[in-house]
């Protein structure tokens, strides 16, 4: 079970995506029609990607989006994902994801999964860099260097990849500017340039034991618990209080 947390009205979550990656199968083209039929009431729009230099068209995602473009199902020859920008808490997201994934798997041919990924993109408040702090909302700071006696003029970029128990890997990235996928992260998040700003980007993934019964449910529970712990360990008490509204 996910840990119980109070709803935080000013939480910085801008985008949440879960991706199921698998070996490519041409049988998915036929399956997509059934997926679209079953989900049309919730996702009436079909958005087809344009050509991207250096990227195979088969690896680009067709998007089934809701009318507000705030939720989408993403389909490619080797990937299924569900993305939302109207996050209403983990329990609601998990319920929607499992229901939509069940619809997809009902129509899909047998698949061999290679990766499950869960990504949370948080857009932090704008700030003026000063001192060694990475961002005033975070406990992170530069240490061991006095900045040559100067002061920061832009937010430092940080990225770490951590191997965890339960066959999980966690990438934490902090950067400034338009949201872009870091290496080895989900390559499927739609442009978030309208939310450009200081970004705290979490991507947790597993690539083992994915074909076991209830593997997705187990991954979601373990992955979300890690992200929950990491987020609240990283934010300052003052920023936590500001999220309460």
Q: How confident is the model at residue 177 (pLDDT cuts 50, 70, 90)?
A: low
Q: How confident is the model at residue 193 (pLDDT cuts 50, 70, 90)?
A: very low
Q: State how beta strands 168-177 and 79-84 pair.
A: unpaired
Tens digits of per-residue pLDDT, 149-164? 887 777 788 899 999 9
The confidence score (pLDDT) of residue 157 equals 84
The confidence score (pLDDT) of residue 245 equals 82
Residues 25, 27, 29, 32, CA torsion sign? negative
Q: What is the 8-class DSSP label of residue 153?
A: S
Mean pLDDT, the chain, rounded, equals 87
| CA dist 185 → 102, 188, 245 (Å) | 24, 9, 31
Q: How confident is the model at residue 102 (pLDDT cuts 50, 70, 90)?
A: very high
The confidence score (pLDDT) of residue 198 equals 87
Residues 62, 64, 67, 72, CA torsion sign? negative
* 75-110 residues labelled b (16+ CB within 10 A) or e (exposed): bbbbbbbbbbbebeebeebbebbeebbebbbebbee
Share of the chain above pLDDT 90, in %: 63
| CA dist 203 → 44, 124, 132, 166 (Å) | 29, 17, 25, 15
The confidence score (pLDDT) of residue 178 equals 63
Q: How far apart are CA 61 and CA 175, in angstroms?
A: 25
The confidence score (pLDDT) of residue 158 equals 87
Q: How confident is the model at residue 51 (pLDDT cuts 50, 70, 90)?
A: low
The confidence score (pLDDT) of residue 7 equals 82
Q: Sheet harboring 71-76: ordered strands across?
A: 45-47, 62-65, 71-76, 79-84, 13-22, 113-123, 197-206, 168-177, 158-164
Tens digits of per-residue pLDDT, 103-158? 999 999 999 999 999 999 999 988 877 778 888 899 988 888 888 888 777 778 88
Share of the chain above pLDDT 70, in %: 86
The length of the chain, given as a count of residues: 245
Q: How confident is the model at residue 41 (pLDDT cuts 50, 70, 90)?
A: very high
Is the per-residue pLDDT at 181 higher than 60? no
């Amino acid at each position: 079970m996910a840990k119980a947390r109070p709803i935080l009205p000013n939480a910085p979550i801008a985008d949440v995506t879960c991706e199921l990656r698998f070996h490519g199968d041409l049988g998915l083209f036929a399956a997509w029609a059934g997926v679209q039929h079953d989900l049309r009431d919730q996702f009436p729009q079909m958005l087809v990607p344009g050509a991207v230099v250096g990227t195979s068209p088969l690896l680009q995602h067709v998007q089934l989006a809701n009318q507000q473009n705030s939720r989408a199902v993403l389909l490619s020859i080797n990937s299924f994902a569900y993305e939302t920008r109207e996050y209403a808490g983990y329990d609601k997201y998990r319920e929607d994801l499992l229901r939509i994934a069940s619809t997809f798997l009902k129509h899909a041919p047998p698949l061999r999964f290679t990766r499950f990924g869960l990504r949370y993109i948080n857009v932090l408040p704008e700030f003026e860099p000063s001192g060694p702090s990475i961002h005033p909302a975070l406990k992170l700071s530069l240490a061991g260097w006095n900045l040559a006696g100067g002061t920061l003029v832009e937010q430092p970029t940080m990225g770490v990849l951590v191997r965890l128990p339960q066959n999980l890997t966690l990438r934490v990235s902090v950067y400034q500017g338009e949201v872009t996928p870091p290496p080895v992260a989900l390559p499927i998040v739609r442009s978030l340039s309208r939310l450009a700003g200081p970004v705290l980007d979490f991507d947790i993934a597993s690539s083992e034991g994915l074909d076991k019964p209830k593997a997705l449910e187990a991954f979601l529970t373990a992955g979300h618990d890690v992200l929950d712990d990491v987020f609240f360990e990283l934010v300052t008490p003052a920023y936590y209080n500001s999220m309460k509204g």
